[in-house]
């Protein structure tokens, strides 16, 4: 049985447990030892970080081969149009190659927590929100994708990875699940099927 922790990482928190520059890290929010992030989330991004004490589960979540969907709420500079969303869905050319097809849709401003510090406000420049789901995890990929179609990212929140989400988690809050890996999956490096999750009483 593996432990999986779902953390809603606040803005300007490093996705690691130590830092020699005095910045906030995961250690400020996760008290359990011997867990490690399954994938990364940028310092200036917010939202779901998954941590586990099981290397097999960590691999299944983070490996690009698994193509696990990651869903983001993205505030962009300007009123994004359907043409830009279509380009995001088909894939855009980045310096490290074209992106895989994605799912993108307009999103009304979500009911979420205020960010500190807030996004810069300019009265003469509107902003808009989209929901973007990708199946890869290149460095700062979402930000580069929206910039490539002409709408730079202002705020980025990872809402979900696979079936796990930050629903009912305030920034800095976490919950712990017990994951039962199928026996066959535990014997392979790639694994098959999806892990089943059960809440652990806290």
Task: Give yes or no: 42 in active site.
Answer: yes
Query: What number of CA atoms fall less than 13 Å from residue 82's CA on the CB side?
Result: 0
Nearest to 128 by CA among 144, 103, 105, 148: 105
Q: Is 75 helix (H, G, I), strand (E, B) or coil?
A: strand
Task: Identify which of 73, 70, 100 has the alpha carbon closest to the alpha carbon of residue 88.
Answer: 100
- H helix or E strand, kind and range, residue 142: helix 141-148
User: How far apart, in whole angstroms, are the C-alpha atoms of residue 82 and residue 41?
Assistant: 27
Catalytic residue among 42, 54, 93, 163: 42
Q: Catalogue the active-site residues.
A: 42
């Amino acid at each position: 049985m593996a432990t999986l922790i779902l953390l809603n990482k606040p803005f300007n928190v490093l996705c690691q447990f130590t830092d020699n520059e005095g910045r906030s890290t995961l250690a400020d929010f996760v008290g359990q030892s011997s867990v490690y992030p399954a994938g990364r989330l940028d310092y200036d991004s917010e939202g779901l970080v998954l941590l586990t004490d099981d290397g097999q589960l960590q691999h299944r979540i983070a490996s690009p081969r698994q193509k696990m969907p990651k869903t983001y709420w993205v505030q962009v500079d300007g009123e994004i149009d359907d043409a830009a969303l279509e380009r995001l869905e088909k894939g855009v050319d980045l310096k490290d190659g074209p992106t895989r097809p994605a799912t993108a849709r307009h999103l009304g401003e979500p009911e979420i927590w205020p960010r500190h510090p807030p996004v810069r406000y300019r009265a003469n420049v509107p902003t808009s929100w989209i929901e973007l789901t990708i199946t890869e995890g290149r460095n700062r990929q979402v930000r580069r994708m929206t910039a490539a179609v002409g709408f730079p990212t202002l705020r980025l929140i990872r809402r979900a990875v696979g079936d796990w989400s930050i629903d009912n988690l305030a920034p800095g809050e976490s919950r712990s699940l017990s994951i039962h890996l199928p026996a066959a999956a535990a014997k392979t490096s790639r694994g098959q099927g999806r892990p089943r999750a059960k809440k652990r009483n806290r």
